[in-house]
Amino acid sequence: MHLDHIVFLVDDLDEAIVNWRREGYTVTPGGVHADGLTHNALICFADGSYVELLAFRTPDAGAHRWARFRSFPGPIDYALAHDNLPTFVAEPTGQRLGYYAYSEGGRRRPDGTEIRWRTSWPPADVPGLPFLIEDLTPRELRVPAGEARDHPNRAQRIASLTLAVNRPEETAQRLAPLCGAEAEQRAEHWIVPLGGAQIIIRRPLPVEDDVIRRRGEGIVAFTVALEGGALRFYAA
């Protein structure tokens, strides 16, 4: 598996597109999700990963999985790509981590193209694990290539993402099998390599305590690598 994307919640999608383009990113409108509750735009990178700018379209999100984040815009979740979710959820690793089932979802692009995928979600009471996604339509329909991955600021890839959880060692040991890597402890945090990126797992900082208590443990920051090695940092 590899990093598919980071979900970045915004209050207003049109405003977010303007702001991220002002920072030098190429932003591609994504469309409306099948449930009609959210819509998105994509910032795609050369390695195929992307940042999903996502906004709710209705005042009431009902039982939407991310409804609790509405008061906490910023990075809220992340996904790993898989090529066979039905097999994975039936195998020991999927069962042990709690990925017991999968469901189908999709969205309609602005040009009318319908995109479909499968997702499998980790247990709600196991913090820090990603959701998994498998394309049912060609991936390039969901994650455009070419000019969509060419950014004026020379952004190349997602370099890291940071998880704030109360039990970082447990989260690291659960994540490692998904990433096909070994978890490594460094000082007071853990590192799990993920392709060209790395996942940093640590306890919440004192300034994050209130936010984590109200919105829950999970992703709180990520960095984007620019050409030449410079990093841009984004946080909740």
Which structural domains are found in the chain, ordered by start?
Answer: 2-146 (3.10.180.10), 153-235 (3.10.180.10)
Give DSSP secondary structure letters for the chain. -EEEEEEEE-S-HHHHHHHHHHTT---EEEEEETTSSEEEEEEE-TTS-EEEEEEESSS--TT-TTGGGTTS-EEEEEEEE-S-HHHHHHSHHHHHHT----EEEEEE-TTS-EEEEEEE---TTSTTPPEEEEESS-HHHHS--GGGG--TT-EEEEEEEEEE-S-HHHHHHHHHHHHTS--EEETTEEEEEETTEEEEEEPPPGGGHHHHHHH-SEEEEEEEEETTS-EEEEE-
pLDDT tens string, the chain, 236 residues long: the values are: 899 999 999 999 999 999 999 999 999 999 999 989 999 999 999 999 999 999 999 887 778 889 989 989 999 999 999 999 999 999 998 999 999 899 999 999 999 999 999 999 999 889 999 999 999 999 999 999 999 999 999 999 999 999 999 999 999 999 999 999 999 999 889 999 999 999 999 999 998 888 888 889 999 999 999 999 999 999 98
User: What is this structure's pTM?
Assistant: 0.95
